[in-house]
Amino acid sequence: MARIGIVTGGGSGLGQSAAVRLAEEGVNIAVVDVNEEGGNETVDMVKKAGADAIFIKADVSNPSDVKQYVDKTVEHFGTIDYFFNNAGISGSGKYFLDTEIEEIEKIVGINLLGALYGVRYVSEVMLKNGGGAIVNTASSAGVIGQDSVVTYSATKHGIIGLTKSMVAEYAKDGLRVNAIAPGPTETPMVKAFYEANPKMKENAAGGIPQKRLGTPEEVAELVAFLLTSKAEYINGEVIRIDGGFTNTK
């Protein structure tokens, strides 16, 4: 019987690559995004990889939208086995005291509250069915402090707290929750950030021991490993995938 996964932020970048990689493992996917065009593109890619998929439009900062994508997944597929809790935004790259309050609220709403709501509603389904596996997307900025991304960094540190604390409460009930901490990666979100802040791309690549940015496909391999049965005894971990970037800090 096919496993069922939800991927938020599934319309591009890490979410799209992870959805396709999971499909190659035979996982059926509910693709969640605010972007209908990107989300439907991912659905097509998943189907070409041999799995079933549906697209659900949702704003993850809205708890009713989150509950809806969980309910629709269960309605369509019957259960939820895997959850890649990935949707997020980076922000403008302004220093914190130059950042508008509205931007702070938006980043926290999507990155942190959206992740909390997702874990809240998905875990409820998983625990009723004997457990499941969750991967939360943190960041190198959730492991170390970085300038120009104070609010983003705060949310990603929060993701790590969410990951570890869920394990403390629910590992005994069959729930596995891990986090990934990607460094600078060639995703549309990161590309847009660097286009607005070109000096930061130069600084980032120069500070990575491997002297290049990561790829979404490399991150997708890690996500697929952590979600599947190959990683049954890995729980509560924050795994860096950053070419050694944070290792030197």
Tokens representing residue 6 in the block: 């939800």
Name the residue type at position 125. V
Identify whether 152 is a catalytic site residue: yes
HEC readout, 73-132: HHHHHCCCCEEEECCCCCCCCCCHHHCCHHHHHHHHHHHHHHHHHHHHHHHHHHHHCCCE
Which is it for strands 28-33 and 132-137: parallel, antiparallel or unpaired?
unpaired
Choose the catalytic residue: 82, 121, 152, 194: 152
Tokens representing residue 103 in the block: 């931007």
Sheet holding 4-8, edge to edge: 53-57, 28-33, 4-8, 82-85, 132-137, 175-182, 238-241
Q: Give 184's DSSP letter.
A: S
Report, as residue numbers or ranges, the catalytic residues: 152
